[in-house]
């Protein structure tokens, strides 16, 4: 166990191999050995908690077995550490509503224990889930709690990742950007610098969170230097950590795909590789909308507009029905843009219906990106209907919103609207 624990932030594959050996040894101990129960729980706890970094199905986490052992022993601390792995695994496999329910229960369990180290080290799981489901206020509250408890110690409670504080700061940046609260830009910069100084896995995570701000128009392409994302992928290839590799494929692949020529084609190849990774249950299904958006854009660029529309139509339906609210704005924007580009009567009707669907989502989910997308799309639909007065009104409102928030991507998109 000591050897495996040493590896956790250096080589997760070696760490998990050590815990698996420790589990096997503990299971062979005599049934009357007073240390047997605790020694059986300990490796299972860390195997479950780190399962999301290795890939596999939800059942592969081994949580049910661990829960039985921990509940029989009255070991709430081990149960809390292990449950983090279950929560993230549910989210990784697209079971978003189950993940939200588990995240709420998990947060309550953490609070009932009252151990600051558990809160700092394990809160990333519910933070991720609540953010992706469209609850930035809850995310912000949890992130701030971790930041306060860590009290500037970047490596405090580094049980699963090397710098929980850096990821909490990055997550606070995401939540602040979604809520229109100043300070989000500084959060991203501070998180990336802190993570890079302490832990590769945390650096990957902080850049992944920053990428989300780029994808949603808060930052522009280039906010993550191409040499940084290339270095990220090179390191992830050597790490043996599926989550780090999947995240690096996404960040560097998207960074390249946002450019032209050979770089774009290489980016699309990396995103295609990432799709295989997801299909093999080695990375989160949250990446699918990202990949579908770029695939649909490329199809449209090549003149395959009908195929592009049907692909992104299915993606919009899937994200809306699954509860993956953070990708509803992006997928909806591309869907409406492509429909209006084709321009049939039925397309205009479908575009208006997509805007109405987005408006309904906005009533239940407070996200600046969603509000911006809604005003932008209302402008585009108004112009397609020949209503220039409404178009100019929505366009001007969009510009004001983007400038007030300081969202560079949206500011550029708004200025491009004549």
- What is d(CA 68, CA 22) in angstroms, rounded to the nearest whole number? 19
Asked if the model's pLDDT at residue 321 lies above 80, the reply is yes
- The reply to whether 193 and 229 lie within a common domain is no
Structure confidence at residue 372 (pLDDT): 96
In this predicted model, what pLDDT tens digit does every residue of 173-194 receive, in sequence order?
A: 999 999 999 999 999 999 999 9
Cα–Cα distance for residue pair 377/372, rounded to 1 Å = 9
Instruction: Count other Cβ atoms within 10 Å, centred on residue 408.
Output: 19
Q: How much is the pLDDT for 189? A: 97
Within-domain flag for 290:
no
pLDDT band with cut points at 50, 70 and 90 for residue 5:
low
**In terms of pLDDT, which residue wins out, 50 or 105?**
105
Provide the number of structural domains found in the chain.
4
pLDDT digits (tens, 9 = 90+) for 115-124: 999 999 989 9
Q: Of 65, 180, 171, 160, which is closest to residue 126 (Cα–Cα)?
A: 171
DSSP 49: H
CA 204 vs. chain centroid, Å, equals 12
Average pLDDT score over the chain: 91
- Note whether residue 121 is domain-resident: no
Could you tell me which residue, 43 or 354, shows the higher pLDDT?
354
Q: Is residue 60 part of a domain?
A: yes
Q: What pLDDT, on the 0 to 100 scale, is given for residue 328? A: 93
Average pLDDT of the segment spanning 185-209: 96
Instruction: Name the domain boundary from 218, 233, 262.
Output: 218
Residues 139 and 248 in one domain: no
pLDDT-based confidence at residue 67 (cuts at 50, 70, 90): confident
**Residue 93: pLDDT band by 50, 70, 90 thresholds?**
confident
Q: Clarify whether residues 347 and 360 are in a common domain.
A: yes
Structural domain includes residue 258: yes
- For 398: left if phi > 0, alpha if psi spans -120 to 50, otherwise beta; the answer is alpha
CB atoms within 10 A of CB 76: 16
328, part of any domain: yes
| 366 and 410 belong to one structural domain | yes
For residues 390-399, average pLDDT: 98
More confidently predicted of 374 and 82: 374
129-143: average pLDDT: 94
CB 136 within 8 A of CB 290: no
- Which of 232, 256, 285 delimits the end of a domain? 285
CA dist., res. 402 & res. 414, Å (int): 8
Give the Cα separation of 258 and 40 in Å (integer).
Answer: 49
Residues 313 and 277 in one domain: no
Q: Which of 81-90, 316-325, 349-358 has the highest mean pLDDT?
A: 349-358
Same-domain check for residues 391 and 349? yes
Same domain, 232 and 258: yes
Q: Please check whether residue 119 lies inside any domain of the structure.
A: no
**Residue that is last in its domain, among 183, 218, 253:** 218
In a domain, 348, yes or no: yes
Q: Is 310 found in the same domain as 415?
A: yes
Classify residue 105: in a domain, yes or no.
yes
Tokens encoding 241: 């950590």
Residues 417, 377 contacting (CB under 8 angstroms): no
The reported pTM is 0.88
Q: CA 382 → CA 4, 20, 261, 400, distances in Å?
A: 60, 60, 34, 18
Mean pLDDT, residues 9-35 taken together: 83
**57 shares its domain with 157:** no
Q: Which of 82-91, 114-123, 144-153 has the highest mean pLDDT?
A: 144-153
Question: What is the pLDDT at residue 94?
Answer: 85
pLDDT at 145: 96
194 and 237 part of one domain: no
Q: Looking at the structure, do residues 272 and 322 belong to the same domain, yes or no?
A: no
Examine the pLDDT at 172 and tell me if it is beyond 90.
Answer: yes
Q: What is the mean pLDDT of residues 311-318?
A: 97
Q: In whole angstroms, what is the distance from residue 210 CA to residue 208 CA? A: 5
User: Residue 409 is part of which domain span?
Assistant: 304-418
User: Which tokens go with 310?
Assistant: 């049907």
Backbone angles phi, psi at 383, to 5 degrees: -65, -40
- pLDDT reading at 7 higher than 60: no
Terminal-to-terminal C-alpha distance of the chain: 63
pLDDT at 128: 92
Residues 159 and 176 in one domain: yes
CA distance 193 to 198: 9
């Amino acid at each position: 166990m000591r050897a495996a624990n040493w590896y956790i932030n250096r080589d997760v594959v070696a760490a998990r191999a050590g815990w698996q050996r420790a589990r096997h040894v503990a299971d062979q101990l005599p049934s009357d050995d007073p240390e047997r129960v605790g020694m059986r729980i300990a490796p299972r706890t860390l195997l479950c908690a780190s399962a999301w970094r290795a890939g596999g199905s939800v059942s592969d986490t081994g949580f049910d077995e661990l829960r039985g052992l921990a509940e029989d022993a009255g070991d709430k601390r081990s149960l809390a550490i292990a449950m983090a792995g279950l929560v993230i695994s549910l989210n990784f496999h697209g079971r978003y509503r189950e993940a939200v329910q588990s995240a709420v229960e998990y947060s309550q369990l953490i609070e009932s224990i009252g151990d600051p180290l558990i809160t700092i080290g394990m809160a990333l799981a519910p933070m991720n889930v609540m953010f992706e489901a469209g609850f930035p206020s809850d995310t912000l509250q949890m992130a701030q709690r971790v930041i306060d408890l860590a009290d500037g110690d970047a490596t405090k409670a580094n049980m699963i990742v090397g710098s929980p504080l850096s990821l909490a700061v990055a997550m606070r940046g995401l939540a602040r950007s979604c809520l229109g609260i100043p300070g989000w830009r500084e959060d991203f910069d501070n998180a990336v610098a802190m993570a890079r100084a302490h832990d590769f896995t945390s650096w990957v995570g902080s850049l992944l969170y920053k990428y989300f701000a780029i994808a949603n128009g808060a930052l522009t392409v280039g906010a993550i230097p191409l040499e940084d994302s290339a270095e990220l992928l090179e390191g992830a290839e050597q790490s043996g950590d599926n989550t780090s590799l999947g995240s690096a494929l996404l960040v560097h692949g998207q960074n390249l795909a946002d450019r032209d020529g050979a770089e774009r084609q290489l980016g699309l190849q990396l995103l295609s590789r990432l799709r295989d990774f997801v299909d093999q249950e080695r990375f989160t299904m949250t990446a699918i909308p990202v990949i579908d958006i770029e695939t649909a854009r490329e199809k449209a660029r090549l003149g395959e507009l009908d195929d592009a529309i049907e692909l992104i139509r299915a993606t919009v339906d899937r994200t809306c029905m699954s509860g993956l609210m953070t990708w509803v704005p992006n997928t909806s924007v591309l869907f409406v843009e492509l429909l209006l580009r084709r321009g049939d009567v039925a397309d205009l009707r479908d575009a208006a219906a997509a805007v109405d669907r987005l408006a309904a989502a906005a009533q239940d989910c407070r996200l600046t990106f969603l509000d911006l997308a809604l005003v932008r799309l209302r402008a585009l639909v108004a112009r397609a209907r020949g209503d220039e007065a409404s178009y100019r009104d929505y366009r001007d409102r969009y510009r004001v919103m983007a400038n007030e928030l300081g969202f560079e991507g949206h500011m550029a998109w708004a200025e491009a609207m004549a």
